[in-house]
Amino acid sequence: MKTKFSGFLALLLAFMMQITFAQEKTVSGTVSDDSGPLPGVSVVIKGTTHGTETDFDGKYSIKANVGAILQFSYVGMETQEKTVGQSNTINVTLKASANVLEEVVVTAQGIKKSKKALGYAVSTVKSDQIQERASGDVARVLSGKTSGVQINATSGMSGSGTNIIIRGYSSFSQSNQPLFIVDGVPFDSGTNTPDDFVNGNSGSSRFLDLDPNSIASISVLKGLAAATLYGSQGRNGVILITTKDGLTGNVPKKTEVNVTQSFFFNEIASMPDYQNEFGNGFDQAFGWFFSNWGPSFKKDGVAGWGNSINPDPTKGFNPDGTLAHPYWTASAATGIPAAFPQFQGARYKWKPYNSVPNFFRIGTIASTSVNIRGASSDGNVSYNMNYGNHDEKGFTPGNTLRRTNLGMGGRAILSNRFTVNGTINFARTDFKTPPVAASTGNDVFGTGSSVFGALFFTPRSVDLTGLPFQNPVTGGSVYYRQNNSIQNPNWTVHNAQFSQFTNRVFGSFATKYDINDNLNLTYRLGLDFTNEHNTNYQNKGGISDFQETVSGFYRTWDNNNTIWDHTIMLNGNYKLNDDMNISFNTGVTSRSEIFDRQGVNSSGQNVFGVLRHFNFNTQTPIQFSSTRNILGALGQVQWDFKNYLFVTAAGRNDWVSNLSTDNRSLFYPSASASFIPTTAIDGLKSDKFLNYLKIRAGYGTSAGFPTGFPIASTLNLNTRAFQDDAGVNTVTNTTGTTLANPNLKPEQVKEFEVGIEARMFKNRANLQLSAYTRKTTDLIVNRPLDPSTGFTQTQTNIGEIHGEGIEADLGVDIFKAKDANAVGWNTHFNFTANESTVRRLGQGTDIIVFAGFSNLGNAAKVGQPLGVMVGSRIKRDAQGNALVNASGNYVEEFGTFNIGDPNPDWILNTTNTVTYKNFNFSFLFNWTHGGDIYSSTISTLLGRGLITETVDRLNTFILPGVQQSTGQPNDVQINNSSYYFSNILFGPNELQVYDGSVLRLQEVSLGYTLPKKMLEKTPFGSLTFTASGYNLWYDAYNTPKGANFDPNVIGTGVGNGRGFDYLNGPSSKRYGFSIKASF
Amino acid sequence: MKRLYKFLSLVFVCSGIVFYSCETTNLNLTKNPNALTPSQADADFLLNGIQVNFGRLVEDLGERGAQLTRIDYMSGRDYPGVYSPSGFDTDWRRAYQGVLNNIRAMQPIATNASLTKHLGMAQFIEAYTMVSLVDFFGDVPYTEAVTGINNLNPKADSGASIYDAALGLLDQAIANFNAPALGTPQIDFFYAGDFGKWIKAANSLKMKIYMQRRLVDANAIASFNAIVSSGNFISNTADDMDFHWAKSDANPDARHPRYAADYTTSGANNYESNWLMGYMDRNNDPRIRYYFYRQVDGMPGQLDVNGNPVPPDEQTSQCSLTPTPQHYLAGGFTFCGLPDGYWGRDHGDDDGIPPDGFLRTVVGVYPAAGEFDDDSFANRQVNPGNGGGGAGITPIMLASTSHFLLAEVAMVAGDMSTAKSHMAMGIDESIKKVQAFGSGLDPDADPTFEPSALAIASFKTAMGDAFDNAATTDDKWNVLAQQFFVSLFGNGIDAYNFYRRTGYPTTLQPNIEPNPGTFIRSNWYPAAYANTNSNATQKSGVSVQVFWDTNPPSPGFPLSN
């Protein structure tokens, strides 16, 4: 058939050539579809690289020889060919392609499949939804763009970690973070922090090393059926990233250069709404306290400062409304009065200072991206190069992020049936931040410092930016409190820092050998090597309960992480008969992870400010290493029938290196099917209504292997555990706190999903729906043990978690632009709802607190949502009345009571794109409904009397409830400060929990593309200007307005904890513009 | 096909380079390179760890006991809420994981190597630890404890059976101390290798155990007296058992924890107890300058050292402007402040913390090796390194305690004169002990402020007179008990037990809250136990009494709450 046709064509050509030999002329015309002219249609002379595109009116013109064949192609349309004849005009009407959904997606192990054949959900995000964004973090850019994926920032700090959860949490001791695959090979996406969340949880998630501008597309494999071939690594879903370097298949032959330059401003978005009526003190009396319950800024009235006029100039107010300067009256032992003789006798004005807003700055983000690609004239050799530079200044002083990316990729189809392709990338990321650690309204409670620990509740009358922060004699921190017990945030910025300087090389090498038309053999090698150089220091003179922090410390360590990945696969594709095809992939793979940490911890600084290890008194080593290998054998078979029924079966067996021989191997199968009724059933498909319908179902399994060395019994040795009378350090042995469990098995996940995909109304509406249930059993649990067992925890397999959820994506072209002057409006919704419930815990356990603190954290409780927040509550009597003590405050009942559910009920995102002429306007709006948050930020702002909610403070409160001692209704009056301070801030934990529902304008942008005509005489192929903003507005509508709190924060860092804020997460808003040019 | 071989050989070569020595396919990587294995354990190193954990445990429980008995300040108006269950997690972990489990790890090694002294010390430490856990919590796991994977939910044993077991352990310990050993411990933090003193300590601990269970054990006093008549117990301060802290402030921080908390660059973190300071100040107790260091010479709202009134100050002492609560007025207790610059807090006071770190009175040279109070006041405000640098002690078994227990035996028997003489000996041993911590430890102190022999003698006379002049037996008990409590500054475990056993003294400052709930007769089970052990149930309340406490329930007993 094929030969016959080409023969006929050749004949036809020869005939035509005879009469129109070498006659070049200009052909023009209009290309349209059934709704009108079609701009952007590619018009190419067949067999050459000459071509053009239709303009906004669907018009084109091209020089061609008579007899040449013009190819008209457009995405979603059937390609048409017309031969140039006598006429100078060729008008074409393109028809919607029957194969409109022959969209090819990248699936597990890089296997490309037609989307209609998939029995499971895959979301694809195109590069235009990722590029030119204000964040250099690919995960944050991805946020809200696909259903089923929940992305949370640990904070708005530049370079801070990002938490990604696909289809909810299915495990609670194992990681729930998805697998990153970049250009076919695994990519480390871990987050290394200097310490735990209490003492310092700054640290970037390593996908930060990717330049979003260099990404061609992202596929998100959500379900297990989709990820089976990745084995246990894929159980949390897979983010498959294809970079432009890795996409070298369809490169234009002419060299194309794309340059993007962006510039953004970066501001704190969650600035509280501070009140300006009252200042520092307690009970309307002045004092240099933490709290802001002092007198009014007015002289008169019951709360006026006039009541505290004191003849002693060092106490209370002078009649002119001034106080003694705090550096004059500070305790002599602080050294402050001696170090600041200029403040002896100085007066300090009693007024509100705008300390917190002035502390922050407007950061900037400049990013440049250059992309060059091209191919040899025969298309057999193609290449791509990327350069990216991202330079970001955070809104917090001392916070910066700089990144340089260099990448290169290429492909060569060799004459001997070999195809080789490879990528190599280099990323250099330099992240610096002042220390950030947990605080609950009394400054930090761990061993580290935190720039935010005491910042947000700076009393209104304290002039943070006006007071010197450094003792000129010692270099130590000085601040307003009379015993100098708060580390000045400005001192922290100048004298303490955590930095992560990363050099990373990653890439892949792949080769394919075509055995015959039906069979090929591939080998792929992936290498990802990261050197993360960490520095954490604080000069001496800080304020802490921890002497090592006060004495100054300097810690430097390198994390070297290597992933080697080899895969050999045999791929085949056979046509069984006219109706049936079968294809298969089978292979073996090995993955080796090597983590190695080396460094030195020094403490006791001698010369102030000198950060070299020799300048410190003691040194201890930092050393940790871990190696784990996973081997896999995998196979997949797909059978399809008449292009409307597709059945896939897959399986993988994994062997892991850190479990006992009996438990190290596990097989997990999957099966999925896809059925296209619109193809199978005649008459179902109609042009006006249902264009396409697919029904799919999939069943998948996977496993979670533990990390580390869970079956090894350990003994600790500490050479500096203590010191004896003679001053000699004591060496101790202590048994390991983790009980080894030689019987530890992998945990198992099973998932069943169904879905439909449909296109309707001339492809104007596009719907994808998925529903799934999943079950995790034999959970690997870091089970806390009663220390009376001799151990504090063990990894064990217990329990069952049941998850279910739905995901929906709906896209509608509300207006389809008929011509350049018409308005086009596309709207897209995605909806995610997910619920994970603990069904069983087993082994006599009814609660496991797996994140946070044992008495305030996220727990697994039978019958409760996974991650339910537990803590203390208001004690109640048998009738449920709150109990109040004799002071009039709530009685706290200690224990692990439910205080909130941090899981949102649902998340709805909508993206709207409006095009008009050369303008393009779009916005992404997010609505997260539900999800509680324990917010130290809110409770501190209330409890310390700082925000507008606390202005009405002269009245008394009577807490509803009954007196504990009498059972009678409570009638004890307490004042406003006691209400907020002793109950809301430092009372039962349940009072610090708020509903975290939030509406957010996540992205908004306005772009303008210069008309082609204007560029004709310039070197530019295209030029686009875009102004955009990120997180410009949000409203956590169930939290106190004055706190302006942004619930998009994870105080416990990247991991399985959520719903906690420990004064460590201001959020950021960004706005600016970018220019994109191609040459 | 030829090309296929070419391909395969290419793959083979490539992977040969990177699969080097099968590094990526090795499936036997179960050993943890980041720690030793249990087979590499060393008996000395284990015993070092056991001792340090034990020292920290006793210090911690001692502070809790002292807070409950007004020897130290307690913050919390509501007894059931003062110490949350999770507040005891660290102690529980230290006791079982830090002490007991390491003892179990050491025992086979020490037994095989005939390290009897190691075993004896471990047995003493185990006995003291288990008895203290019973005293604080009641029934706790013991026979099923620390068996690792064999039992993840150890059941509690009765307190009485644990007491019996402890006595057995102490007999074994004494036998081990007497037995020959192939080696002595590398470090002995308590007696520097003097095993005669260890035997005395073991006997003293037996005396303490008998005394504690005298309400439920008819033979307790006879058993107690049998040891007394042997004479082989701690009766002289020279034999006192103390845990010794060191000066290193970081890496490791081996300082006395109370020193570390108070001698900081931003001043003190702890308050001292107004009851104890007031009682000692009123009685011209010669130990007061050792126990407490005053940073100022007067407190707001009170008379300073020169007898001049100091104006109230809302900023540094909020309560200096508030009226005395009715129940304090009625009982004649001091409120808010004390004269002479003793700046502490009342029992239960939970006000916010003003910036008074360089104003309040801090722990002195005894037992925390801080500063000796030589009236330097603000000239020697606290700062890291001041005084003895924190190389102090945690007292564990004291000669003074032996005498006070002997006095208790006499009181129970109605023998007032013996009681008085043992009380006097107890005071004497205590003063002797405390005086050893004077200017020798705090080189910057002016030694002329150390009490004269005359002052000490007159104090002792005054205490004897107070006992004699006490109108009732209750009042005599109160004199004895108050002096016992003074001697226990630094470790309140014995005070907490004595208070629940006898109900004395009845003169302690009550909680500032008029309705503070029932006194803590035993503490909440630690969250780490109650929440993770399926055989554990949290107790119904802190009013639950331990097995040896057959006194009337709270409230009503003890009286002064």
Distance from CA of A125 to the nearest CA of B (A): 33
- Closest CB to B48: pick one of A286, A628, A730: A730
Model's pTM, two decimal places? 0.88
29-88 in chain B: CB under 8 A from chain A: 29-38, 40-42, 45-46, 48-49, 52-53, 77-78, 81, 84-86
Mean pLDDT of chain B: 93
Contact (CB<8Å) B28/A735: no
Question: Who has greater pLDDT, A990 or A13?
Answer: A990
What integer pLDDT is reported at residue A998 of this predicted model?
Answer: 96
Strands A765-784 and A69-73 come out as unpaired
pLDDT above 60: residue A1: no
Is A862's Cβ below 8 Å from some Cβ in B? no
pLDDT at A14 over 50: no
pLDDT of residue B250: 84
- Residue A18 is predicted with a pLDDT of 45
Q: Enumerate helices (H) and strands (E) in chain A, giving the number of each.
A: 12, 57
**Residue A32: pLDDT above 50?**
yes
Question: What pLDDT digit, counting tens, does each position of A679-693 carry?
Answer: 888 888 888 889 899
Confidence of residue B534 (pLDDT cuts 50, 70, 90): confident
Rounded to 5 degrees, what are φ and ψ at A145?
-95, -10
What is d(CA A593, CA A312) in angstroms, rounded to the nearest whole number? 69
| Lookup: tokens for A298 | 């007015």
Does residue B8 register a pLDDT over 70? no
Model ipTM?
0.92
Using the CB atoms, write b or e for A455-470: b if 16+ within 10 Å: bbbbbbbbbbeebbbb
pLDDT in tens, B365-418: 999 999 999 999 988 999 889 999 999 999 999 999 999 999 999 999 999 999
Name every chain B residue with its beta carbon within 8 A of the beta carbon of A482: 355, 358
pLDDT at A35 over 70: no
* Statement: residue B228 has pLDDT above 80: yes
Which of A624, A786, A887, A966 to mutate against chain B (most B CBs within 10 Å)?
Answer: A786
A5 pLDDT more than 60: no
Length of chain A: 1079
Kindly report the CA angle at A174 between A172 and A175, in degrees rounded to 5? 100
Write the single-letter amino acid at A473: V
Tens digits of per-residue pLDDT, A171-219? 888 889 999 999 888 898 888 888 888 888 888 899 999 999 899 889 8
User: Residue A505: how many CB atoms within 10 A of its CB?
Assistant: 14
CA triplet B452, B454, B456: central angle to 5 degrees? 75
Select from A975, A973, A988, A981 the least CA-distant residue to A945: A981
Q: How confident is the model at residue A71 (pLDDT cuts 50, 70, 90)?
A: confident
Q: What pLDDT is recorded for position B11?
A: 58
Question: What is the C-alpha separation between A886 and A627, in angstroms, rounded?
Answer: 59
Does residue B54 contact residue B99 with C-beta atoms inside 8 Å? yes
CA distances from residue A638 to A581, A785, A1061 in whole angstroms, order as listed: 8, 47, 48
Cα nearest neighbour of A542 on chain B: B265
What's phi and psi for A1037, nearest 5 deg? -70, -10
Burial class (CB in 10 A: 0-12, 13-18, 19+), A4: exposed
User: What is the distance between the alpha carbons of residues B489 and B495, in angstroms, rounded to a whole number?
Assistant: 9
| Backbone angles phi and psi of B329, in degrees to 5 | -60, -45
| Average pLDDT value for residue range A546-553 | 90
Share above pLDDT 70 across residues of chain A, in percent, rounded to a whole number: 95
How far B504 CA lies from chain A's nearest CA (Å)?
A: 25
Residue A357: what pLDDT? 95
Could you say which DSSP state residue A245 is in?
T
In A857-928, which ranges are continuous DSSP H helix?
A: none
Strand pairing partners for A368?
A: A261, A389
The string of pLDDT tens digits covering residues A897-913 is 999 999 999 999 999 99
> Which positions ≥6 away from A861 have C-beta within 8 Å?
A838, A841, A846, A847, A868, A870, A898
What band does A56 get if pLDDT is binned at 50, 70 and 90?
A: low
pLDDT exceeds cutoff 70 at A615: yes
Chain B closest-CA separation from residue A444 CA (Å): 15
**Nearest CB to A551; choose among B40, B250, B513:** B250
- pLDDT band of residue A67 (cuts 50, 70, 90) is confident
Q: Which two tokens stand for residue A642?
A: 């008449």
- Decide if A887 and B513 are in contact by the 8 Å CB cutoff: yes
Residue B441 has pLDDT above 70, yes or no: yes
Distance CA A350, CA A640 (A): 80
Contact present, A858 and A931 (Cβ < 8 Å): no
Question: pLDDT at residue A100 above 70?
Answer: no
User: Which distant-in-sequence residues (6+ apart) come within 8 Å of A164 by Cβ?
Assistant: A139, A142, A149, A150, A151, A177, A178, A239
Q: Say if residue B16's pLDDT is above 70.
A: no
Residue A244 vs residue B57, higher pLDDT: B57
pLDDT at A2: 43
The conformation of residue A1051, written as its DSSP 8-state character, comes to T
State how far the Cα of A760 lies from the Cα of A764, in Å rounded to an integer.
6
Query: Which tops the pLDDT comparison, A1054 or A11?
Result: A1054
Cβ separation B267–A483 shorter than 8 A: yes
Q: Which residues of chain A neighbour B149 with C-beta distances below 8 Å?
A: 739-741, 794
How far is CA A308 from each of CA A287, A298, B196, B318, rounded to the nearest angstrom?
11, 12, 66, 14
**Per-residue confidence at A54, pLDDT binned at 50, 70, 90?**
confident
Query: What are the backbone angles phi and psi of residue A661, rounded to the nearest 5°?
Result: -50, -40
Beta carbons of A854 and B89 less than 8 Å apart: yes
Q: Which residue of A has its CA nearest to B50?
A: A734
Is A788 an interface residue toward B (CB < 8 Å)? yes
For residue A554, which amino acid is it? Y
Give the integer Cα–Cα distance in Å for B319 and B350: 11
pLDDT of residue A91: 84
CA distance B48 to B186: 8
Span of A83-97, A446-460, B472-486 with lowest mean pLDDT:
A83-97
Take residue A464 and report the two structure tokens written for it. 């943070």
Q: What share of chain A is helix, strand, coil (3-state, %, to 5)?
A: 10, 50, 40
For residues B275 and B285, the answer to whether their CB atoms sit within 8 Å is no
How much is the pLDDT for A16? 45
Identify the CA nearest to B19 among candidates A911, A413, A629, A217. Answer: A629
Residues of A in contact with B133 (CB under 8 A): none
pLDDT-above-90 percentage for chain B = 81
